């Protein structure tokens, strides 16, 4: 027995040694936090090799989760990719460092359209990464999208075939827009109406999922899903029967950007990584992986016609005019959270 045990231990330690490889040399490490499936991972490996650093890469699924991670101080990150309204909040709470744009020459490629937005008015703290919108991914064979309205998600003919998001602000956005309200409302009456609408919708909903709906739609197991535009592009590429609509009542436009949190002690290295991710090649490879709309002026010139003709990627100006950006609701977030919990416990 003893011998067997020794054998097991030695085999396991061998695996261990092999797995560690020759990474004994002291390297600088860079802690990166990003949304799940939101980068071409090989880019990070390349950056690691070129700069002799180790990147520790973590993912999260909603901005709220990211905020708690940073705020609690559980991990000290050097670079974070997140959404505008959470960045706004973090800037206000002094959790973000100002950037030295001399270290980010590729910033010049970022389209002016995505600079100086309200979350970072003079663009000192963030570099835009991707942008997109919220809409409905549907199956052309089963769904009539002619109404071009959020009401599609309340259509009883598709009971148990509708997927909503397990993300309170996005699901509320659909209901608020259908009611004709701002998706940043802090009016309790408007929020109550939206909540009632979502409660009404509950029996029709197949599931509340974030990240998982493209797979279900590709497999034609649901008729429609509330998704972000990039998810729609990737799903449409795999199943020709799928299409995407941005309802006429208007939707949410979001910008995700790279920031350097104040906990870092490797600002320069992090800026180098930002610059690397802003290069045309890196952007093109990322587009190929995440399918969201790009903020890069040179990369967009190099994309093929098919992608550019997809309204989920190249979002038409007419839709853009009706879109609204999320703002940090500050303490009013509790109004959303309470109602969301009520909805989920219903």
Partner 1 sequence: MKDRTKYFAYPYVVWIFLFIALPAFLVLLYSSTTKESNGLTTIHFTLENYKKFFQPIYLNILWDSIYLAAVSTVICLILGYPAALIISNTHVSKRNTLLFLCILPMWMNMLLRTYAWMTILGNNGILNNFFAFIGLPTFNMLYTRGATVMGMVYNFIPFMILPIYTALSKMDKGLLEAADDLGADKKTVFTKVILPLSMPGVISGIIMVFMPAVSTFIIPQLLGGNKSMMIGNLVEKLFILNGDWNFGSAISMVMMIIILLSMSIMNKFDIDKEGGARLW
Partner 2 sequence: MVKKYLSKIYMGIIFIFLYAPILVLAVFSFNESKSRGNWTGFSLKWYIELFHDHDIRSAFYYTITIAIITAIVSTVLGTIAAIGINAIKGRQKALILNVNYLPVVNPDIVTGISLMILYISFNMDFGFNTMLLSHIVFSTPYVILSILPKLKQLDVHMTEAAMDLGATPMYALRKVILPEIKPGIITGFLMAFTLSIDDFIISYFTKGEGVTNLSIVIYSMARRGVRPTINALSTIMLTVVLLLMILINKRTNGHEKSKKTNRSEV
- Interface contacts to partner 1, rule CB under 8 A: 62, 64-65, 67-68, 71-72, 160, 166, 202, 205-209, 216, 219-222, 337, 341-342, 344-346
CB 49, CB 68: distance < 8 Å: no
Spatial separation of the C-alpha atoms in residues 189 and 58, rounded to whole Å: 39
What is the rounded distance in angstroms from the CA atom of residue 306 to the CA atom of residue 288?
13
Find the shortest distance in angstroms from Cβ 170 to partner 2: 16
CA distances from 14 to 148, 237, 335 (A): 60, 43, 54
**Which range in 3-11, 188-196, 271-279, 306-314 contacts partner 2 by CB under 8 A?**
3-11
> In the numeric block, which tokens belong to residue 173?
């956005």
Give the whole-angstrom CA distance, residue 305 versus residue 311: 12
**What is the x/- site pattern for partner 2, positions 204-233, by CB under 8 A?**
-----xxxx-xxx--x--------------
Q: Name which of partner 1, partner 2, none residue 196 binds, using a CB cut-off of 5 to 8 Å depending on partner kind.
A: none
Closest CA to 258 of 24, 133, 77, 112: 77
Whether the CB-CB separation of 177 and 250 falls below 8 Å is answered with: yes
Find the shortest distance in angstroms from Cβ 11 to partner 2: 10
From partner 2, partner 1, none, interface partner of 68 (C-beta below 5 to 8 A by class) = partner 1
- Kindly tell me which of 87 and 269 has the beta carbon lying closer to partner 1: 87
Q: Between vectors from CA 324 to CA 322 and to CA 328, what angle results, nearest 5°?
A: 175
208 binds, among partner 2, partner 1, none (CB under 5 to 8 A by kind): partner 1
Size of site (CB under 8 A) for partner 2: 37
Residue among 192, 226, 204 nearest 340 (CA): 192
Stretches 49-57, 96-104, 123-131, 190-198: which one binds partner 2 (CB under 8 A)?
Answer: 49-57
- 140 versus 202: smaller Cβ distance to partner 1: 202
* Region of 56-64, 105-113, 152-160, 192-200 interacting with partner 2 (CB under 8 A): 56-64
Our finding on whether 31 is near partner 2 (CB under 8 A) is yes
If DSSP codes are grouped into helix, strand and coil, which group holds residue 2? Answer: helix
Q: Tell me the HSE value of 172 on the side-chain side, using a 13 A CA sphere.
A: 28
Using the rule CB under 8 A, is 10 a contact of partner 2?
Answer: no
Contact with partner 2 (CB under 8 A) among 38, 46, 48, 59: 59
Binds partner 2 (CB under 8 A): choice among 6, 12, 151, 157: 12
Longest dimension (CA), the chain: 74
Selection from partner 1, partner 2, none that 100 binds (CB < 5 to 8 A by kind) is: none
């Amino acid at each position: 027995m003893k011998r067997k045990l020794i054998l097991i231990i030695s085999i396991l330690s061998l695996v261990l040694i092999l797995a560690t490889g020759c990474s004994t040399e002291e390297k600088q490490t860079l802690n990166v936090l990003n949304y799940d499936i939101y980068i071409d991972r090989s880019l990070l490996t390349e950056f690691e090799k070129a700069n002799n650093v180790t990147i520790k890469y973590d993912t999260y699924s909603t901005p709220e989760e990211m905020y708690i991670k940073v705020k609690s101080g559980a991990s000290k990150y050097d670079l974070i990719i997140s959404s505008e309204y959470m960045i706004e909040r973090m800037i206000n709470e002094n959790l973000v460092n100002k950037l030295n744009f001399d270290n980010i020459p590729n910033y010049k490629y970022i389209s002016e359209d995505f600079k100086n937005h309200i979350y970072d008015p003079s663009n000192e703290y963030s570099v835009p990464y991707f942008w997109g919108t919220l809409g409905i991914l549907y199956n052309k064979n089963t769904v009539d999208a002619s109404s071009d309205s959020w009401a599609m998600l309340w259509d009883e003919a598709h009971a148990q075939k509708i997927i909503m998001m397990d993300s309170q602000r996005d699901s509320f956005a659909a209901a608020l827009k259908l009611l004709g309200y701002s998706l940043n409302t802090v009016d309790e009456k408007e929020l109550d109406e939206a909540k009632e609408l979502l409660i009404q919708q509950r029996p029709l909903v197949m599931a509340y999922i974030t990240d998982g709906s493209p797979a279900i739609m590709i497999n034609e197991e649901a008729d429609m899903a509330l998704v972000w535009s990039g998810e729609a592009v990737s799903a449409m590429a795999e199943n020709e029967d799928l299409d995407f609509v941005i309802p006429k009542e208007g939707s949410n436009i979001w910008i995700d950007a790279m920031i350097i949190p104040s906990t870092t002690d490797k600002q320069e290295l992090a800026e180098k990584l930002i610059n690397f991710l802003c290069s045309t090649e890196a952007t093109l490879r990322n587009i190929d992986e995440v399918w969201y709309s790009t903020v890069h002026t040179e990369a967009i010139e190099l994309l093929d016609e098919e992608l550019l003709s997809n309204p989920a990627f190249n979002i038409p100006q007419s839709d853009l005019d009706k879109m609204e950006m999320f703002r940090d609701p500050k303490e009013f977030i509790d109004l959303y959270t309470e109602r969301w919990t009520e909805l989920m416990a219903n």
